Chains A and B, each alone.
Chain A
Amino acid sequence: MEVLAQNLCSITAAQVIMWCIGGVLMYLAIGKKMEPALLLPMGFGAILVNLPNSGAAAVLGRLYEIGIADNELFPLLLFLGIGAMIDFTPLLRQPRLMLFGAAAQFGIFFTLGLASLLGFEQKDAASIAIIGAADGPTSIFVAQTLNSRYTAAILVAAYSYMALVPIVQPPIIRRCTTRAERRIRMQDKGRPVSKRTRILFPVLVTVIVGLAAPGAVALIGFLMFGNLIRECGVLNTLSETAQNVLANLITLLLGITVAARMSAEEFLQAQTLLILGLGLVAFVMDTVGGILLAKLMNLFLKEKVNPMIGAAGISAFPMSARVVHKLGREEDNQNFLLMSAVGVNVSGQIASVIAGGLVLALVGG
């Protein structure tokens, strides 16, 4: 009874705010079905570590050290699962689509400049900018490698905006394109892709990215290894396990582990709100970057591309491709942009890792 009274008296307003934040995250996960595998454990973890004299803080802190801080184990294992989920065939049929993936990393570099202007140290600015990668594991990897103080806020922003892609992207796409542009039909002219190509592709990408951005080779390596397991055809059971069980389990662990950094004193800072705002800017500018490249290319191409597919270059997969396809169908119900949009979307996955690796090389080096 004495302990209960003592703990009740030691509850702070900041802890109550963190419980509310945890509650909101759990509501988004359960009520709105937004990234439930991640937001649910994060929300619950936020409550867990903000109980007075919480004994869980030490346990989660240890998990954080093992799974994230020491060697970025969780994000890498998660990338293995993601790699096993992704079918790169639409991209291999039309490799030029990768350009849109590169253009849609514009938000990362724009936000890097903006965060520096707003007074963040270079390493923190770079970590915040990587929210624009629209890719949780890359965000954690870069923030942790650069030893950012804002890892938890960055993670909350990255995953929240990924889940909010269907809400964030459509108004931007509509503002950046005309109705006539949104009605442009795209024919799938790609050639069939052989199994040999699909097997060699992950090896090839790993070698190229490893040579160009060694800082990102672990990330791209695990992503591509997962894809190799999928495509090799002799590890189907492992591929299914990686896609489902491994990915879900690691996401769950990642979510509750990140909560170790969501103690009130660490999370409730003015900078957290600023980081959430900068994350939104990064997503918006990613979308704009992809669309603008498509519009620029249309000035020179005989057969125009629908500029909306540029917006699918952010690596939030497959939400972004679905958004573009849906917007295309709204304007013309015979317009099927899905295959092209998926090609751009998976290329964004690769381009975001390249951008992350280059940011690490340029800022961390």
Chain B
Amino acid sequence: MELRFDDFLAILPIFGKGFLGTFLVTIVIIGAVSLLNRLTSKIDN
């Protein structure tokens, strides 16, 4: 089996963007859920 370092290097930006992007979207959801929790608890109170 031949190791393809060029392909590996080409995929690194996708690795970085994908993993970072997953965190970013997650952080947005965390923020939105926290906001939602606060708003709904105020309404419910």
- A350 contacts which chain B residues (CB < 8 A)? 26, 29
Which residues in chain B, 6-45, are within 8 Å of chain A measured between CB atoms? 7-8, 10-12, 14-15, 17-19, 21-30, 32-34, 36-37, 40-41, 43-44
Per the bound structure, the CA–CA distance linking A213 and B17 in Å amounts to 12
Please pick, from B2, B32, B37, B43, the residue contacting A208 in the complex, using a CB distance under 8 A: B32
Q: Are A197 and B25 in contact (CB under 8 A)?
A: no
Q: Are A355 and B18 in contact (CB under 8 A)?
A: yes
Q: Is A189 an interface residue (CB 8 A)?
A: no
Q: Which residue of B lies closest to A209 (CB)?
A: B25
Range for the number of chain A residues in contact with chain B: 35 or more
Q: Which residue of A lies closest to B44 (CB)?
A: A194
Q: Are A196 and B33 in contact (CB under 8 A)?
A: no
Question: How many B residues touch A, CB cutoff 8 Å?
Answer: 34
Given contacts A117-B3, A358-B21, are A109 and B29 in contact (CB under 8 A)?
A: no
- B2 contacts which chain A residues (CB < 8 A)? 119
Q: Chain A nearest CB: distance from B25 CB in Å?
A: 4
Q: Is A201 an interface residue (CB 8 A)?
A: yes
Count A/B pairs, Cβ under 8 Å. 120
- B18 contacts which chain A residues (CB < 8 A)? 108-109, 112, 355, 358-359, 362
Per the bound structure, the CA–CA distance linking A105 and B17 in Å amounts to 13
Q: Are B25 and A354 in contact (CB under 8 A)?
A: yes
- A354 contacts which chain B residues (CB < 8 A)? 21-22, 25-26
- A196 contacts which chain B residues (CB < 8 A)? 40, 43-44
Q: Is A98 an interface residue (CB 8 A)?
A: yes
- B43 contacts which chain A residues (CB < 8 A)? 196
Per the bound structure, the CA–CA distance linking A196 and B38 in Å amounts to 11
Q: Chain B nearest CB: distance from A280 CB in Å?
A: 17
Q: Are A212 and B37 in contact (CB under 8 A)?
A: no
- B11 contacts which chain A residues (CB < 8 A)? 112-113, 116, 122, 125
- A347 contacts which chain B residues (CB < 8 A)? 26
Given contacts A193-B37, A194-B41, are A95 and B14 in contact (CB under 8 A)?
A: no
Which residues in chain A, 69-111, are within 8 Å of chain B measured between CB atoms? 91-92, 95-96, 98-99, 101-103, 105-106, 108-110
Given contacts A201-B33, A362-B14, are A116 and B19 in contact (CB under 8 A)?
A: no
New contact pairs (7) apart from A95-B34, A362-B18, CB-CB < 8 Å: A99-B23, A102-B22, A117-B8, A209-B25, A350-B29, A351-B26, A354-B21
Chain B residues within 8 Å of A, Cβ to Cβ: 1-5, 7-8, 10-12, 14-15, 17-19, 21-30, 32-34, 36-37, 40-41, 43-44
Chain A residues within 8 Å of B, Cβ to Cβ: 91-92, 95-96, 98-99, 101-103, 105-106, 108-110, 112-113, 116-119, 122, 125-126, 191, 193-194, 196-197, 200-201, 204-205, 208-209, 212-213, 347, 350-351, 354-355, 358-359, 362-363
